[in-house]
Amino acid sequence: MFDMLKAGRNIVRLRGAAGLTQMGLADKLGISYQAVSNWERGTSRPDISKLPELAEIFNVGIDEILGKGKGTRFIGSVLDNTTEDYFQQNAISAEELSEIAPLLQLAQISEAFEHVKESAAVSDLLALAPFLSEELLDECAKQAFEKEGAGVLPPLAPFISEGILSEWGARAYAK
């Protein structure tokens, strides 16, 4: 969905065109120059809250920073608070959501996950687990346990509440 190396190269190009150093861009954004360096090398992604600031500094659209594509359109809908409209017109998979999850805040991921959770496999839950609330994970993991049994628990265990783990342990042991 996103090619972070390409996004990093775009940031380098746009920063150069704006006549800014990494330090200068970092100062404008209120972050460290190391963060800018990491973006440019593609080792990390800008926080979603920084994307509009970057676009304004460079006088471009977010799509020129991230590249054109489904992920960029979704990020744009999050920034514009139009995700419901986006989901009425577009489908997004749990796998695609996991690719953009590091850019989103917990509430934004939770809202988007509501649109994909029915089709999400356990492997999708595992990829999204660090970005979802414990309550939401408990709910989804409980459904997976009911459908697939206790074998789904081990990989998800670090992200699930102790109460749910105890309940499932007792149920699995009773069988």
Mean pLDDT value of segment 81-106:
85
What distance lies between CA 126 and its chain's CA centroid? 13
**pLDDT at residue 53 above 90?**
yes
Q: What is the C-alpha to C-alpha distance for residues 65 and 17, in angstroms, rounded to an integer?
A: 13
84 pLDDT band, cuts 50/70/90, is confident
Rounded Cα–Cα distance for residues 10 and 67 (Å): 8
Show the domains of the chain with their CATH numbers: 4-66 (1.10.260.40), 70-174 (no CATH)
CB 124 within 8 A of CB 96: no
What pLDDT, on a 0 to 100 scale, did the predictor assign at position 1? 57
- Residue 103 above 90 pLDDT? no
How many alpha carbons fall within 13 Å on the CB side of residue 120?
28
Q: Is the pTM here over 0.75, yes or no?
A: no
Instruction: Identify the residue with better confidence: 34 or 120.
Output: 34
Tell me the average pLDDT across 46-52: 90
Three-class secondary structure of residue 109 per DSSP: helix
Burial of 35 per CB tally in 10 Å (0-12, 13-18, 19+): middle
Spatial CA neighbour of 112 closest among 130, 138, 131, 126: 131
